[in-house]
Structure 1
């Protein structure tokens, strides 16, 4: 199933620039997955459709992808840099949030054991990390419609 993108934060797309992406990579000290860079360059602040993913014995939904570009309207509410800064004392080093869920939890890149692209983990409100996908590509491929 292919992923479509639904507007969420803005009425018009607001692509992340190469400078925004480079700033995030520098701040986190990582190289972001190429396919994530392509997605965020076109779809930051948007929600993937379908959006349901499996986690643990259940499922959840991806909310908007966090933003890399500064935005006075939303401030730091959806900023990947700000969210990471807010939660870094609860997160192991090498784990970085890139999308939120409707319940206020986060999908994160997990670089702790990455030899290639990072794994994708789900951070619960208790800051527990649960595995979701072996990488960003597999996350997108595994999304499904919960009503199907």
Structure 2
């Protein structure tokens, strides 16, 4: 993966932080995603566009996983922070315990690439969440591909 120089957000997450997030979100992060985030946390890819639903999207940057302390200026790119901000716009049931859509990359113009756990908490697919069409408890998503690795291979 080629990334734009100086875009990796540190500190890079260690396995213990990733396991903590998996427990908190009640999902299993794909191994390929965990390897990626440990190396490229919050980075911006050079090959940054892809097609989905007859539309071309551009990845602004991948979201990061940080121990949020209030001391890192990049914490607003933390997945947990973004997930909290999107709140009821990325779930279908306000009483849900766990995660349905986990944002992993912010797209130009406010949409997100998400790991989609609605069908499986162990093997998520990848989708685009549309912020303009989504409402509270009514997320609008477009299926993109079956895995995080496939998503990386779609970038051009």
Place the TM-score, normalised by the shorter chain, in its bin.
Answer: 0.7 to 0.9
Once the two structures are superposed, residues 36-94 of structure 1 have per-residue CA deviations (whole angstroms, 9 ceiling, x without a partner) of 00000010110122111111111111122111113623254111001111213111251
SS in 1 for 2:131: coil
**2:141 aligns to what?**
129
TM-score, reference length from structure 1: 0.84
**2:76 aligns to what?**
77
Q: Are residues 1:104 and 2:106 paired?
A: no
Cα distance, 1:116 vs. partner? 5.0
Structure 1 Cα separation of the partners of residues 122 and 75 of structure 2: 30
Question: For structure 1, which runs of at least 5 residues remain unmatched after alignment?
Answer: none
Task: Indicate conservation of the 8 Å contact 1:95/1:112, yes or no.
Answer: yes
Cα distance, 1:110 vs. partner? 0.4
Task: Indicate conservation of the 8 Å contact 2:26/2:121, yes or no.
Answer: no
For the structure 1 residues 81 and 13, does the alpha-carbon distance in structure 2 shift closer, same or farther, using more than 3 Å as the test?
Answer: closer
Question: For structure 2, which runs of at least 5 residues remain unmatched after alignment?
Answer: 92-98, 135-139
Cα distance, 1:123 vs. partner? 1.0
Runs of 4 or more consecutive aligned structure 1 residues displaced over 6 Å after TM superposition? none
Q: Which stretch of the first structure deviates more once superposed, 112-121 or 22-31?
A: 112-121
SS in 1 for 2:57: strand
Q: Which stretch of the first structure deviates more once superposed, 133-142 or 74-83?
A: 74-83
CA-atom RMSD in angstroms: 2.0
For the structure 1 residues 7 and 22, does the alpha-carbon distance in structure 2 shift closer, same or farther, using more than 3 Å as the test?
Answer: farther
Question: How many residues of Structure 1 are paired with residues of Structure 2 in the alignment?
Answer: 141
SS in 2 for 1:124: strand
SS in 1 for 2:90: coil
Structure 2 Cα separation of the partners of residues 91 and 59 of structure 1: 22
